[in-house]
Amino acid sequence: MTDIFETARLWLNKEQEGLNLTTCKEFQEWVNKSAKHKEAFEEEKDFRELFKTLPTNTLEEISFENQKEIRKDKFLKKILKTSFSAALFCLIFFASYFTYNYYTPSFEQTYLAVNKVKKDIKLPDSSIVSLDKNSKIEVKYFKNKRKIQIKEGKALFLVTSNKSRPFLVKTNNTIVEVLGTKFEVQKQKDKVQISVIEGKVSVKHILTNSNAQILAVLEKADSIEIDKFGKISNLKKVNEKLIASWQKDKLLFKQTKLKEVIEKFSKYLDYKVIIEDKSLKTLPISGEFSINDFDNLMKSLSIIHPIKTYKIGNTYYIKKKI
C-alpha cells in the first residue's frame, strides 16, 4: 500500500510541474489498473487540497509531530548503524505511520434510503444527516477531515463544528466545505444544488486532480445550482422553510411551475403523471403538500385552476377543462 501512495504522490508532483494527467497514457494506465490505485490517488489529492486550508495552529502541530518523528528516525539510524536494511525499515515504518494516521479512515459507513425518507442519522462526531427517498451517501472519517460522498439523491446535514477537522461533501465535480452549519445538497444528473439553512459553506469546483476553484461562499437562505462544468446557473435567496421540506414529509411550493412540481413529486409515486397540454407545464403552483398525498394535489389543481385530472390504471393525466 505504501508503494501505491508513493506513486500517487509522484504523479501529483508531475502534475504540479505542468504534466496533463488527463492525456498522459502512462498515468491513465496506472490509475485505472485497480480500485486501490484510484483510491490512493484521490486520497492524496484530497489531502493536498485540504492541507492548503488548514489553520496555522494545525500546521504547526503537524510540523512539531514531523520533527519528533525525524528525531526518532535519527535515533533508530544510530542503533541500526545506518545499514541499508535499517534505512529501509525506517522508511517503511514512518511511511506506514503517516499513511495510517492520514489515509486510513477511523470510521467508514454507507447509508441508503430506498423506499422512504431516512431521518436523523447520527454520525460519530454527533453530526446529523437525513436522506431523502432513493438517496445514498458514503461516509469516511479521517484524523484530519470528515468526508462525505453523495452517490445519489438528496441529503440534509447538521454539522458539529470542528475547525481542525473540516466537513467535506463531494458530489459530481463539486466540493462543499463547512466547519459547522445546516445545509442541503441535492445531486442531479448534470447539476448540483446546495441550499443553506444555517451558518456558512464554501462551494468549490474541481478543476484538476489537485486543484479546486472557489465558486461561492453561501450564507443562511442562499441557494445555488452548479452544472458539471462548474458554471453557476442559479444563485438566489430562498425561504429557508422551503429547504429540505421532504424531511418533514412535505413539499412546499411558491409560484413553482407545474412541470417542476410533478418532477419533485414523481420520486415518491408508484405511477406516472402525464401533462397532456404543454401550456399547462408552466402553470404556477403554490402551497404545502404531503409527499404521501398526491391525490390531494390533483384535487386542489382541479378546484383552483381550469384543468381536469383523471387516473387510468397506474397513470395520472392532466389536461385543460373544455
- State the DSSP string of 154-167: EEEEEPPP-TTS-E
Q: How many domains would you assign to the chain? A: 3
63, part of any domain: no
Q: Show which of 240, 264, 283 is a domain's final residue.
A: 240
Q: How far apart are CA 315 and CA 84, in angstroms?
A: 75
| Mean pLDDT, rounded, for 144-157 | 93
Q: Is residue 269 part of a domain?
A: yes
Domain CATH for 149: 2.60.120.1440
Question: Where a domain ends, among 240, 259, 291?
Answer: 240
* Domain membership flag for residue 194: yes
| Closest among 124, 232, 214 to 177, alpha carbons compared | 214
What DSSP designation does 310 have? E
Confidence check: pLDDT of 94 > 80: no
How many helices (H) does the chain have, and how many strands (E)? 7, 18
Long-range Cβ contacts of 68-71 (<8 Å, 24+ apart): 69/94, 69/97
Model confidence at 320: pLDDT above 70: yes
Scanning the structure block, which residue is given the C-alpha cell 510540523?
63
Per-residue pLDDT at 52: 56
Indicate whether 208 and 278 sit together in one domain: no
| Whether residue 42 is found in the same domain as residue 13 | yes
Domain that holds residue 275: 249-320
| 261 and 197 share one domain | no
Q: Say if residue 234 is in the same domain as residue 275.
A: no
Answer yes or no: do 222 and 152 share one domain: yes
- Which grid cell is 193? 444544488
Residues 141 and 233 in one domain: yes
> Which one is predicted more confidently, 199 or 1?
199
Rounded to an integer, the average pLDDT of 254-261 is 88
- Do residues 158 and 267 both lie within one domain? no
Residues 263, 256: Cα–Cα separation, whole Å: 11
Instruction: Show contacts of 137-142: CB within 8 Å, 24+ apart.
Output: 137/110, 137/111, 138/108, 138/109, 138/110, 139/107, 139/108, 139/109, 139/110, 139/111, 140/105, 140/107, 140/108, 141/105, 141/106, 141/107, 141/108, 142/102, 142/103, 142/104, 142/105, 142/106
Q: Judge whether 92 lies within some domain.
A: no
Domain assignment present for 85: no
